[in-house]
Structure 1
Amino acid sequence: MARARRIVPRMLAPSRILRTTPAQPGGGRSREALVERAREAIEQGSRSFHTASMLFDRETRERVWLLYAWCRRCDDLADGQDHGRPPEGHPPQDLGDAGKRLRAIRLLTGRAFDGLPTAEPAFDAFGLVARECGLTREMAEDVIMGFELDALGWRPRTDADLARYCYHVAGAVGVMMAVVMGVPGSDSETLDRACDLGIAFQLSNIARDIAEDDAADRCYLPIEWLVEQDIEPGQHMKPHHRGELAAMAARLVGHMERHEAAARLGVARLPFRSRWAVLAAARIYGAIGREVRARGPAAWDRRVTIGRREKAGHIAGAFWEALKNRPPEPDAMPEWTRGSILIDVRMAGPIAKPPMDPLPDDE
């Protein structure tokens, strides 16, 4: 009688049991698809910045779009919004969700740096541009801290607090943009000037958007400024305070102009096409701030915008300014510097955070 053959179970190869996701720039998405999604994001999110970005050479323009897409998506996730607006049919997110949303941003950004897919095109885009240009996790964290300040309802008390806010939400972005344009991470002087330009842009935005921010229960005017003007908390948009509000807006624009003038010293070191694009953006955002100041107490009766014809004039002026490339020496450098702000950040310590609920495994 034949003996039955004994069948010995064979172990599967490890690759058959657990497949690791290979690290790839952009999480495996095609560069063309990521660039197109990024172009759509900037076109919807910032018409002024989109206009200026068209002046870059193609490679730089695409990289600027990729970085912008990440910034826009992080901002939306932090605030529970869609391109700066609450999703239709959904109430604004409350602070109780902030910890979870911020943790998601950090986890997705970390995966992007590792070249792992995130299921979020904007984060995959960031992973791609970070790999191409040498952006660092520290640079990204500086920007994420700005989203954190907004998500947690943080408000500035002092000038130093305002400087810290402007650095995280815009100055740190300026530093990353400069690296995307080819400025080496070791060129601290040029990166300082790029930070100045980001801060200038943010100061212009704050001055223009005081009424809109108040409607969203936000205020970026330092509490000490309001106290100096004898304005009660939450009452700065009352009609009888319009004179004082105009004075504070003019103060913001004064700071903006110092940073704007200092930034031009760094812009002079960029290649011509990048110089032209950055100067066009500087002229457009500067014009917004100066128009707010010129309108005085009427600045918030209707939103300050820069029309197409005026933008075209700024683009033409920026061309000749970039061609000449002899920025005047500023009368005075800004009071707020990247170095001093970062020292203040370290001394102030971490931002107070709400408890963070654990993310589900599938997130």
Structure 2
Amino acid sequence: MDAGALPAVTARRELRAAGVPVTLRGAYLRARRLNAEHGRTYFLATRLLPAAHRPAVHALYGFARQVDDLVDDTTGRSPGDRAVELDHLEKRLNEALDSGTSAEPVLAALADTVQRHRIDRALFQDFLTSMRMDLTVGEYPTRATLENYVHGSAAVIGLQLLPVLGTVCPPEQARAHAAELGVAFQLTNFLRDVSEDLDRGRIYLPLDELGAFGVDRDRLAWCRETGRRDARVRQALSDQVARTRARYRAAEPGIALLRPQARPCVRTAFTLYGEILDRIVESGYDVFRRRATVPTSRRVVVALGAASSALAVRAGSRFATRARG
């Protein structure tokens, strides 16, 4: 078998393990490709889950990516045109969730996942509400206004995943941690993508917190245009990194509340995303000339360590099952 065939073999094994009907396998494969192409860290972490749990994660990611691409479309369509398209997508989403299927692959996989794992439909409405804000809101004056946005754009992602990952406690005990981790990941993205977001006319850092260091939109734009930073911008970004690290600390206890089979996956994403902050600090907070990334070699080391843990957990689970039998 050639190496190029291996991903397809793995994908089919995941779908069989999850009990996905043949009629839906193409839909799930489409969502899986979106995850593999656009969410490298998430996709790598998802590979650490038991095969049966991966398709649901791909479906949730695929839908989020579809909406995000629509909102961030730079082909010249006006915000009004994109808002209309988003309304149409929401209508098709509701129809898919009502009927349990759709002619659109990503929506078909999502509807099946929502049914299988009994995911709260309201979480998708909250997500779309925040995505609509991206069409009209270019900045957030306070932390409170930003929190309103990240609830729908990030916290709900953690809450959507929680039923898929499973817990060793009543799910409500893990909800706050799951939401907090989703927010921590997105705040990390906001810091990494300051330049890219400026190009779209957006600032996802609270203006009052930047203002405390003498930083405003014009100063960030100057840094973007010149590729230079000054002490005020470095101090402001250092403050934002510290605030984001606090969100990781608040989220971390939730990893132990997940089913053992899910912990290596989430721990890997937790570690690699947190290290993006390290790269930002090491660069001297140069988020204007280069995108902070974790080197592939480091990603491999973290993933291999987590894979060993995942294999040990699965082996222990199989042994316990045989012992009970």
Give the TM-score, by structure 1 length: 0.73
For residue 305 of structure 1, give the secondary structure of its aligned residue in structure 2: coil
Query: Could you say which residue in structure 2 is the equivalent of 1:212?
Result: 196
Matched, 1:273 2:273: no
Matched, 1:236 2:217: no
Q: How far off its partner does 1:322 sit?
A: 7.8
Query: Could you say which residue in structure 2 is the equivalent of 1:101?
Result: 85
Bigger mean CA offset, 196-205 vs 100-109: 100-109
Which residue of the other structure, out of 6, 15, 33, is the alignment partner of 2:26? 33
Distance 2:151 2:159 in 1: 10
Query: Do the aligned residues in 1 keep the contact of 2:48 with 2:310 (CA within 8 Å)?
Result: no
Q: How far off its partner does 1:309 sit?
A: 0.9
Query: Do the aligned residues in 1 keep the contact of 2:101 with 2:111 (CA within 8 Å)?
Result: no
Matched, 1:60 2:44: no
Query: Could you say which residue in structure 1 is the equivalent of 2:184?
Result: 200
Query: Could you say which residue in structure 2 is the equivalent of 1:19?
Result: none
Distance 2:168 2:91 in 1: 27
Distance 1:29 1:170 in 2: 32
Distance 1:255 1:101 in 2: 35
Identity %: 25
What whole-Å deviation, never above 9, does each CA across 1:123-142 have from its counterpart, x for those lacking one?
A: 11111100000012211112
Query: Do the aligned residues in 1 keep the contact of 2:28 with 2:105 (CA within 8 Å)?
Result: no
Query: Could you say which residue in structure 2 is the equivalent of 1:20?
Result: none
Query: Could you say which residue in structure 1 is the equivalent of 2:142?
Result: 158
What whole-Å deviation, never above 9, does each CA across 1:64-120 have from its counterpart, x for those lacking one?
A: 0011111111212233x3xxxx4xxx32x3222243123123212101211265432
Distance 2:266 2:209 in 1: 31
Q: Would the alpha carbon gap of residues 310 and 156 (structure 1) be closer, same or farther in structure 2, given more than 3 Å must change?
A: same
Distance 1:32 1:241 in 2: 49
Q: How far off its partner does 1:154 sit?
A: 4.2
| Structure that is richer in helix per residue | 2
Q: Give the letter for the 1:133 counterpart.
A: H
The runs of 5 or more residues in structure 2 that have no matched partner are 1-20, 314-325
Structure with the greater alpha carbon radius of gyration: 1
> What are the equivalent positions in structure 2 for 1:1-363 lying under 5 Å apart?
30-79=23-72, 81=73, 86=74, 90-91=75-76, 93-115=77-99, 117-183=101-167, 187-239=171-223, 242-318=230-306
Query: Do the aligned residues in 2 keep the contact of 1:293 with 1:299 (CA within 8 Å)?
Result: no
Q: Give the letter for the 2:132 counterpart.
A: E
Bigger mean CA offset, 93-102 vs 273-282: 93-102
Q: How far off its partner does 1:151 sit?
A: 2.2
Q: How far off its partner does 1:256 sit?
A: 2.1
Q: How far off its partner does 1:187 sit?
A: 2.2
Give the TM-score, by structure 2 length: 0.81
Query: Do the aligned residues in 1 keep the contact of 2:180 with 2:250 (CA within 8 Å)?
Result: yes
Q: How far off its partner does 1:292 sit?
A: 0.7
Q: Give the letter for the 1:159 counterpart.
A: R
Distance 2:310 2:142 in 1: 36
Q: How far off its partner does 1:320 sit?
A: 7.5
Q: How far off its partner does 1:299 sit?
A: 3.7
Query: Do the aligned residues in 2 keep the contact of 1:200 with 1:256 (CA within 8 Å)?
Result: yes
Q: How far off its partner does 1:318 sit?
A: 4.3
Distance 1:290 1:184 in 2: 31
Distance 1:308 1:211 in 2: 23
Q: How far off its partner does 1:226 sit?
A: 3.2
Distance 1:324 1:127 in 2: 33
Distance 1:123 1:185 in 2: 30
Distance 1:177 1:95 in 2: 30
Q: Give the letter for the 1:38 counterpart.
A: A
Q: Would the alpha carbon gap of residues 117 and 209 (structure 1) be closer, same or farther in structure 2, given more than 3 Å must change?
A: same
Q: Give the letter for the 1:110 counterpart.
A: N
Distance 1:323 1:261 in 2: 27
Distance 1:225 1:100 in 2: 34
Distance 1:159 1:195 in 2: 17
What whole-Å deviation, never above 9, does each CA across 1:186-232 have from its counterpart, x for those lacking one?
A: 62220110111111101111111101111221111112123323334
> Aligned-residue CA RMSD in angstroms?
2.6
